[in-house]
């Protein structure tokens, strides 16, 4: 996917997501994820996954970053970086996170990285081509 972000911005978002990943609370899965959302004013909002013994109460890193941004008054996002390590390759946002992100920025740039050099850039439109849109009736 083509992006308007320069390589320095991409690296900055990945580094911020790596930092957030280090704060994850994942005692059950041991699968730590970090996310960094870029707002229109270049502010970066961090999120990490926070697990709970009642697994349905777990919050993903991407939704934690959205909540952080909204709590700071930001509701428009330009890009998201997600960092996680997986034996099966790069990790992309789950379906629920994709829908939440689309609520705010349906054309968001999504950067997925393993934090060690493997990176792929997607458009949220490509990851969630048929999003639910209450206003599209």
Compute CA distances 136 → 75, 82, 102, 133, whole Å.
Answer: 20, 29, 13, 5
Catalytic position from the list 11, 15, 62, 85: 62
Contact 51, 27 (CB under 8 A): yes
62 catalytic residue (yes or no)? yes
Nearest-angstrom CA–CA distance, 118 and 83: 10
Tell me, rounded to whole angstroms, the distance of Cα 130 from its chain centroid.
19
Contact 110, 80 (CB under 8 A): yes
Residues with a known catalytic role: 62
């Amino acid at each position: 996917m083509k992006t308007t972000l320069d390589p320095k911005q991409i690296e900055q978002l990945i580094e911020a997501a790596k930092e957030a990943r280090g704060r994850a609370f994942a005692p059950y899965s041991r699968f730590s994820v970090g996310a960094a959302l870029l707002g229109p004013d270049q502010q970066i909002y961090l999120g990490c996954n926070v697990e709970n013994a009642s697994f349905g109460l777990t919050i993903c890193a991407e939704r934690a970053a959205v909540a952080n941004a909204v709590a700071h008054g930001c509701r428009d996002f330009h890009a998201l970086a997600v960092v996680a390590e997986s034996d099966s390759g790069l990790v992309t946002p789950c379906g629920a996170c994709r829908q939440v992100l689309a609520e705010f920025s349906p054309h968001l740039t999504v950067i997925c990285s393993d934090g060690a050099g493997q990176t792929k850039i997607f458009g949220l439109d490509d990851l969630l081509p048929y999003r639910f849109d209450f206003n599209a009736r």
